Structure 1
């Protein structure tokens, strides 16, 4: 099939869950013979490394620069426009809209839009041409925004309530126009179905299982690992909760435990705020296997967020025992005590970590059960097959309508 795919960010380097998902789905669909044109609005420039990583999988790569977040146009739109804050920041881009209009003059088997917050520049051209499109919503953004708004100052509370109201209305408006709406977890699919009163399809998040298959965690290392993208608020909250409330309890019980924290866009002030010598600070880690093999446990104390967590899936694929919360394993059909170890409060997580670090055999059993789970249900080949099935069903329906 010829596929027109749109994104509000470049999917390389894979510094976030969303970028990782997009890159691997594009790669797997291209490997299955589909011809993809990728239209991107990006806040970062297209460099040679990104071009080299993406172009082998694409017929065309078209990148439109996004205006600065603090531009007058963006700030006015975020406050006064009908779309919510996130959709306004990514919308109202004449160059992007014109590029999309030109592409719509071509014949496409599928038009794939990622994220409702990216939709504003595409709405008028799609309505004008009447062409159907598929949308994947990675989170129910109105609910995710509600989880993050508490980071705003008190004086901004009236605006955050207003913006959440705007996003609920924006979701209903956008989703009503889709040919197919896709979620990444069953819970989100149910939530979107309730919101739209129509079926929502599922394409799960995945992991490159072969890439992580040969990782052998050091279950005797007494080392915990957390990796995140710190442009994402829930990861900031996870680190702060861990270092302010959980790790002090761990170290009181077992002062030999170490913690490695890595990831993209790590705040520079963290090293001074938490200067304990038992914390090893890393930046962006291009190859996670290098740090996974040194750890005994992947510790993900997540209290916020949505969807399923690619960092958790990657840790499981590497055979690491995951210690986390219900939020950390949301969207996954995993059992506490079998595929991961979980608790919801700081004291319980600290006890769980200290107990587990003393039991390498238990870590091996849980880690290998998690590895087997993701290989069966969350390899990227599974996700690509689910998405391809949706495309094929749409194509058959259109062929049947044409015959009538």
Structure 2
């Protein structure tokens, strides 16, 4: 594909990599830039683009424009969250006049081959300008957002449940509204594409998540360590649910089978209350780690106790790429094409998960072979360059439509 001029919007900075979504954004930016595409990145973020961020993105982004997102406790945010017709997450990221003005200026400044909007919940500030300029755009959905509420709303107090149901209804309506306007929708898995396709002008394209194959190639898990790893961004409710379910239901059963097993919990925004709630010395609350292969090399098993989320789970994909034996729910392996028992062990209740982890700890030879099959599977199918090729195919479809419309005009 010839080099394209791409205007890309995100509701967060893709560096530092503290979540699966940021990992996806950063690696696809890098892959697209390596192919010669010129990218202008427009971001509304709650964090600043400091020198480290600028240095990390400068090789891949021709122009970086970052605007601050107002605080969650800002009265304007709270008012709209309660009374807007838009869902909660959209009001948090929307109603941003400065972002709207900046986007309008960028559309007016030059012709863009591709305009790409990440997440329907970040779409509101751009809607009017896109319509005025009759600008085609690609919408990328990392999940089916309206299905993610269970992990969050289930923890709300009983008195707030009516608002939770109302917000879920607002979310489904907004999602349908946005997807219906997109020239093309990109999903992360075939399952998500099937669900989103009911609301789109045309069948969504699938651009899978990937893994840094070379970065994880040197990992050698420590099967004798008895360490069981989980990694997540704890600003994301499904990851919070995974750890809390593991602590309450899985680990009591696992410790009955493997008293020496240790739980290593890593990731951004680790809730401080967990250290006081679960004080067993066999738990290692490590928080954010800046070099994941190091902690993977210290671990014996990756436990993906994920009950919610949609999309495909980068943390699981990276564990597979590192040949770390994985025990996961069916949800945790969604979109990864893994065969149960071959590249990972699959269990969907607490007793089965504890039994599966214990089995791998007791049978290290079997665990090693499963991990090697997992690494081969990811290497063959989930390289970031292959993902970039999938994204370019989506761009080509939008450009072909645009040429047809111009020819008919």
TM-score bucket (shorter structure): over 0.9
TM-score, normalised relative to structure 2: 0.96
Distance in 1 of aligned mates of 2:263 and 2:84? 44
Q: Which runs of 4+ in 1 moved over 3 A?
A: 195-198, 399-404
2:33 to 9, 14, 30: 30
Summarize deviations over 1:338-386 as a string: whole Å, max 9, x none.
0100111111111111111011111111111111111111111111110
Residue 67 (str. 1) matches residue 70 (str. 2) = yes
In 1, Cα distance between the equivalents of 2:364 and 2:170? 50
What SS does structure 2 have at the residue aligned with 1:62? strand
Partner of 2:179: 175
**1:253-308: per-residue Cα shift (whole Å, max 9, x none)?**
22111121111110112122111111112121111011101111111111121111
Query: Does 2:99 correspond to 1:96?
Result: yes
User: CA RMSD for the aligned pairs?
Assistant: 1.2
Match of 1:251 in 2: 255
Structure 2 residue 369 is matched with structure 1 residue 365: yes
2:192 aligned partner: 188
1:224 correspondence with 2:231: no
Write the distance in 2 (CA, Å) between the matches of 1:39 and 1:197: 26
Contact 1:205 1:380 survives alignment (8 Å): yes
**Can you give the 5+ residue segments of structure 1 that lack an aligned partner in the other structure?**
none
Alignment of 1:4-403 (within 5 A): 4-105=7-108, 106-196=110-200, 198-403=202-407
Matched residue pairs, number?
404
TM-score relative to the length of structure 1: 0.98
Instruction: Identify unmatched segments of 5+ residues in structure 2.
Output: none
1:250 and 1:171 map into 2 onto residues whose CA distance is 40
For residues 93 and 397 of structure 1, the distance between their equivalents in structure 2, rounded to whole angstroms, comes to 31
Once the 2 structures are TM-superposed, how far is the Cα of residue 223 of structure 1 from its aligned partner?
1.4
Contact 1:146 1:164 in 2 (8 A): no
Q: Which moved more, 1:21-30 or 1:350-359?
A: 350-359
